[in-house]
C-alpha cells in the first residue's frame, strides 16, 4: 500500500509539472499574440495619423476647387515647360499632322492662321534713316530694288519665293510647335545663291532637331545647347531628315545660334521647344472627326431605302432547311425583288411589306458640331466664323468677332516678324553691304541702314463704305497719316504716290483749270474719256 501510494504521488507530481509547463507555454503564446496585435494596431494608428496629417493642409484650403473629392481630382504637376515638351511635343506634332491630312477643319484652321498672320507674304519697305532725320530716298530705292530681286529666289532649293517661305515657316510653326531656318551668307561650299545678293536661307522642320537629344554635361536640352543663362548658343541638327528613306537618326552636326534660328510657340518661361497650336483643342477635333464620320455613315445607310417582309404564322416555316426558308406545299417560297411599279400579289397569308424607318440625318448634329467648333476655335486662336465657314449674324456681331480675333492675329504676326522676317531682313542688308551692292554712308550703322516698315496682312472689311468713311475721317482729323491709311490697304505709300503722279502726268490735258468747278471738271473728264473710248472702238 505504501509503495502504491508513493507511485501514485509521483504520477500526480509529474502531471502537475506538465500542466504547469503547458500553462506557462499557453501564457507565453497568448502574450506573443497580444504583442503582435498591439504592434499591428499601433502601426495602423501611426499610418492613419500620418495620412491625416498630410491631408489636413489639403482639407484646410480656402478654395473649394483645390480640395480633392470623389468628383474632383487635383491636377498634378508635370514639371517645367521643357519636361512637358519632352514628353508630349513629338506625339502632339504627329497627331497635328494627322489632323491636317485627314480632317478638313484642321486644315482650314491652319489656312486661316497663315492667311491672317503672313498672308501672301509680309512685305518690307525700306526706310533707311538716322535717328530724327528724314528717310534717305536714294538708299531706300536701291534696297527696294535689291529686295524685289531677292524675293523671287531667297532659299537654297530655289523652289519657293519669299512669300511661300513665310507661309511654310508659319504653317510649320503653328502645326508642329516650332520651325528652324539657317542663314547662309557669303560664299558657301556647293551653294549657288539665287540672286546677286549673297544671302540664302535654309528652312528646317522640327524633326531635324531631335527632341530626345539631351546632355546635361554640355547643357543640351532637346537638341538645343544653351549657356548658363538659358540663351541658345547652338543647335544640334540631323544631317538628313529622319523620316526620309535615306535619313540618319543618329548623326548630327552642331550649328551655331549665330546662323541658325528657332521659331517656337511657347507658353512658359524657359521653354526651349514649342508645342502645337492644336494642343488644347486636339481632343475636341478628334471627337468632331469621329462623330461626323459616324453621322455620315448613318445618313448613308439611311439614304438606302430598305424594306422588310413581315412574316405570317410561324407554322408556315420548316426546320428541315435550317429554318431559313419558307416552305409552302413542300416547295421553297420565291424571293421578292424591288422594282419600279412592282405589285406583289403573291404574299402569303399574314405577310406584309413595310419600310424600315430611320431617324437620320440627326437634326441635333449641326447644333452639337457648332458648339464644339466654337470652343475649339477659341483654343486655337481663330474666329469661329472663319473656322466653320458659318457667316450668319448681324454686321455688329461679325465686326466684333473680327476685331477681337484680329488682335490675336496681330500678336502672332508681330511674333513672326521678330523671330523670322526682321532677322532675315538684317542679314539681307548686311549681305548687300558686304557684296558692295549698297554703300554704307559714313557715320551710319547697319541698324540705321536696315530700318524698315513691315506690311502685315490688313484686316478685311465687312462693310467697305463704312470702313472707308471711318478711315477718311480719322485722316482728316489728323489722327493718322495718309501713309498709315495706305499701309492699311496693304499698299506701298511711295509707290502709290508715284503712280498718282504718273497718272496726273498722263492726263494733264484732261485736268480742268483752277477756276472750273468740280462738277464741270468731272463732266469734262467723263466726256473726254468717252471720246477716247469711242475712238478706240
How does residue 515 score in pLDDT terms, banded at 50, 70 and 90? Answer: very low
Average pLDDT, the chain: 81
Task: Provide the Cα torsion 512, 513, 517, 518; round to 10°.
Answer: 40
Candidate from 200-209, 235-244, 329-338, 454-463 with smallest mean pLDDT: 329-338
- Asked whether the CA dihedral 296, 298, 299, 303 is positive or negative, the reply is positive
More confident residue, 426 or 347: 426
More confident residue, 250 or 124: 124
Candidate from 311-325, 372-386, 393-407 with smallest mean pLDDT: 311-325
Whole-Å CA distances, 210 to 244, 260, 419: 15, 15, 21
Q: Please tell me the pTM assigned to this model.
A: 0.72
How many domains, in total, are found in the chain? 2
Candidate from 251-255, 279-283, 332-336 with smallest mean pLDDT: 332-336
Nearest to 447 by CA among 124, 128, 123: 128
- DSSP, collapsed to helix, strand or coil, labels residue 404 as helix
Residues whose CB is less than 8 angstroms from the CB of residue 386 and which lie 6 or more positions away in sequence, other chains included: 108, 112, 377, 405
Share of the chain above pLDDT 70, in %: 78
Whether the per-residue pLDDT at 1 is higher than 50: the answer is: no
Whether the per-residue pLDDT at 399 is higher than 70: the answer is: yes
Q: Is residue 513 part of a domain?
A: yes
Q: What mean pLDDT do residues 89-99 have? A: 93
Joined together, the cell numbers standing for residue 417 give 516678324
Joined together, the cell numbers standing for residue 380 give 486655337
More confident residue, 334 or 396: 396
Q: Where are the beta strands (DSSP E) in 245-380?
A: 252-256, 260-264, 307-310, 327-328, 331-332, 352-355
What are the pLDDT digits (tens) for 160-218? Answer: 999 999 999 999 999 999 999 999 999 999 999 999 999 999 999 999 999 999 999 99
Q: What mean pLDDT do residues 68-76 have? A: 78
Residue 323 is predicted with a pLDDT of 47
Nearest to 211 by CA among 252, 166, 246: 252
Q: Is residue 469 part of a domain?
A: no
Provide the greatest CA pair distance for the chain. 170
Candidate from 79-88, 308-317, 413-422 with smallest mean pLDDT: 308-317
- CA 369 from chain center: how many Å? 19
Residues whose CB is less than 8 angstroms from the CB of residue 456 and which lie 6 or more positions away in sequence, other chains included: 119, 122, 410, 413, 417
Q: Look up the domain containing 528 and give its range.
A: 507-537
Candidate from 79-93, 189-203, 451-465, 501-515 with smallest mean pLDDT: 501-515
Q: Is residue 519 part of a domain?
A: yes
Residue 234 is predicted with a pLDDT of 96
Q: Is residue 226 part of a domain?
A: no
Residue 528 is predicted with a pLDDT of 58
What are the pLDDT digits (tens) for 462-510? Answer: 777 777 888 888 888 888 888 888 877 777 787 788 777 777 777 776 5
| Beta-carbon-side half-sphere exposure of residue 93 (alpha carbons within 13 Å) | 23
- Asked whether the beta carbons of 263 and 180 are under 8 A apart, the reply is yes
Q: Is residue 40 part of a domain?
A: yes
Measure the CA–CA gap between 103 and 128, rounded to whole angstroms.
46
More confident residue, 262 or 477: 262
Whole-Å CA distances, 312 to 316, 346, 347, 359: 8, 13, 10, 27
The neighbour count for residue 279, using CB atoms within 10 Å, is 21
Residue 135 is predicted with a pLDDT of 87
- Identity of the highest mean pLDDT range in 122-136, 148-162, 234-248, 360-374: 148-162
Residues whose CB is less than 8 angstroms from the CB of residue 253 and which lie 6 or more positions away in sequence, other chains included: 236, 237, 239
Residue 322 is predicted with a pLDDT of 46
Q: Is residue 314 part of a domain?
A: no
**Omega before 361 cis (within 30°)?**
yes
Q: Is residue 288 part of a domain?
A: no
Residues whose CB is less than 8 angstroms from the CB of residue 293 and which lie 6 or more positions away in sequence, other chains included: none
How does residue 225 score in pLDDT terms, banded at 50, 70 and 90? Answer: very high
Burial of 157 (0-12, 13-18, 19+ CB in 10 A): exposed
- Asked whether the beta carbons of 105 and 373 are under 8 A apart, the reply is yes
Q: What mean pLDDT do residues 9-14 have? A: 51
Phi-psi region of 340 (alpha: psi -120 to 50; beta: other; left: phi over 0): beta
Nearest to 387 by CA among 249, 231, 277, 239: 277
Q: What mean pLDDT do residues 374-400 have? A: 84
Q: Is residue 301 part of a domain?
A: no
How does residue 340 score in pLDDT terms, banded at 50, 70 and 90? Answer: confident
More confident residue, 310 or 221: 221
Share of the chain above pLDDT 90, in %: 41
Whether the per-residue pLDDT at 242 is higher than 50: the answer is: yes
Residue 330 is predicted with a pLDDT of 64
What letter would DSSP give residue 442?
A: T
How does residue 437 score in pLDDT terms, banded at 50, 70 and 90? Answer: very high
Q: What mean pLDDT do residues 275-285 have? A: 92
- Identity of the highest mean pLDDT range in 108-112, 345-349, 486-490: 108-112
Amino acid at each position: 500500500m505504501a509503495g502504491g501510494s508513493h507511485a501514485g504521488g509521483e504520477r500526480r507530481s509529474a502531471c502537475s509539472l506538465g500542466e504547469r509547463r503547458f500553462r506557462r507555454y499557453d501564457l507565453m503564446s497568448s502574450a506573443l499574440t497580444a504583442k503582435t496585435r498591439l504592434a499591428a494596431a499601433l502601426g495602423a494608428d501611426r499610418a492613419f495619423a500620418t495620412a491625416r496629417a498630410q491631408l489636413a493642409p489639403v482639407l484646410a484650403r480656402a478654395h473649394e476647387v483645390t480640395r480633392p473629392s470623389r468628383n474632383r481630382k487635383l491636377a498634378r504637376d508635370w514639371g517645367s515647360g521643357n519636361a512637358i515638351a519632352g514628353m508630349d511635343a513629338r506625339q502632339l506634332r504627329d497627331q497635328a499632322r494627322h489632323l491636317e491630312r485627314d480632317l478638313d477643319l484642321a486644315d482650314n484652321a491652319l489656312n486661316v492662321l497663315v492667311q491672317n498672320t503672313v498672308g501672301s507674304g509680309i512685305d518690307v519697305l525700306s526706310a533707311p534713316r538716322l535717328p530724327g532725320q528724314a528717310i534717305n530716298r536714294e538708299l531706300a530705292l536701291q534696297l527696294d530694288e535689291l529686295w524685289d530681286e531677292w524675293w523671287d529666289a531667297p532659299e537654297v532649293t530655289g523652289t519657293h519665293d519669299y512669300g511661300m517661305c513665310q507661309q511654310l515657316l508659319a504653317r510649320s510653326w503653328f502645326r508642329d510647335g516650332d520651325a528652324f531656318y539657317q542663314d547662309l551668307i557669303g560664299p558657301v561650299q556647293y551653294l549657288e545663291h539665287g540672286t546677286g545678293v549673297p544671302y540664302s536661307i535654309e528652312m528646317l522642320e522640327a524633326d531635324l532637331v531631335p527632341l530626345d537629344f539631351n546632355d546635361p554635361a554640355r547643357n543640351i536640352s532637346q537638341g538645343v545647347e544653351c549657356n548658363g543663362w538659358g540663351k541658345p548658343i547652338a543647335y544640334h541638327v540631323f544631317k538628313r531628315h529622319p523620316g526620309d528613306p535615306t535619313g540618319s537618326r543618329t548623326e548630327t552636326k552642331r550649328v551655331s545660334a549665330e546662323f541658325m534660328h528657332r521659331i517656337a510657340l511657347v507658353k512658359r518661361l524657359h521653354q526651349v521647344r514649342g508645342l502645337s497650336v492644336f494642343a488644347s483643342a486636339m481632343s475636341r477635333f478628334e471627337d468632331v472627326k469621329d462623330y461626323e464620320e459616324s453621322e455620315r455613315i448613318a445618313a448613308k445607310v439611311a439614304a438606302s431605302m430598305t424594306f422588310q417582309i413581315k412574316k405570317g404564322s410561324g407554322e408556315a416555316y420548316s426546320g428541315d432547311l435550317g429554318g431559313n426558308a419558307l416552305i409552302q406545299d413542300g416547295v421553297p417560297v420565291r424571293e421578292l425583288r424591288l422594282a419600279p411599279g412592282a405589285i406583289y400579289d403573291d404574299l402569303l397569308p399574314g405577310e406584309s411589306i413595310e419600310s424600315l424607318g430611320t431617324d437620320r440625318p440627326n437634326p441635333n448634329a449641326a447644333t452639337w458640331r457648332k458648339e464644339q467648333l466654337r470652343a475649339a476655335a477659341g483654343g486655337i486662336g481663330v474666329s469661329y466664323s472663319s473656322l466653320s465657314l458659318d457667316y450668319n449674324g448681324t454686321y455688329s456681331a461679325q465686326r466684333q468677332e473680327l476685331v477681337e480675333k484680329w488682335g490675336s492675329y496681330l500678336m502672332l504676326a508681330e511674333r513672326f516678324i521678330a523671330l523670322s522676317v526682321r532677322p532675315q531682313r538684317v542679314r539681307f542688308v548686311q549681305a548687300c553691304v558686304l557684296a558692295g551692292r549698297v554703300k554704307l554712308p559714313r557715320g551710319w550703322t547697319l541698324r540705321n541702314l536696315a530700318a524698315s516698315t513691315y506690311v502685315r496682312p490688313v484686316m478685311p472689311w465687312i462693310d467697305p463704305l463704312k470702313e472707308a468713311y471711318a478711315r477718311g475721317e480719322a485722316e482728316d482729323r489728323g489722327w493718322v497719316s495718309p501713309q498709315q491709311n495706305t499701309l492699311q490697304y496693304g499698299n506701298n505709300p511711295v509707290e502709290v504716290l508715284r503712280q498718282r503722279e504718273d497718272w496726273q502726268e498722263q492726263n494733264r490735258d484732261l485736268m480742268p483749270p483752277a477756276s472750273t468747278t468740280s462738277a464741270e471738271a468731272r463732266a469734262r473728264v467723263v466726256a473726254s474719256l468717252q471720246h477716247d473710248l469711242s475712238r478706240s472702238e
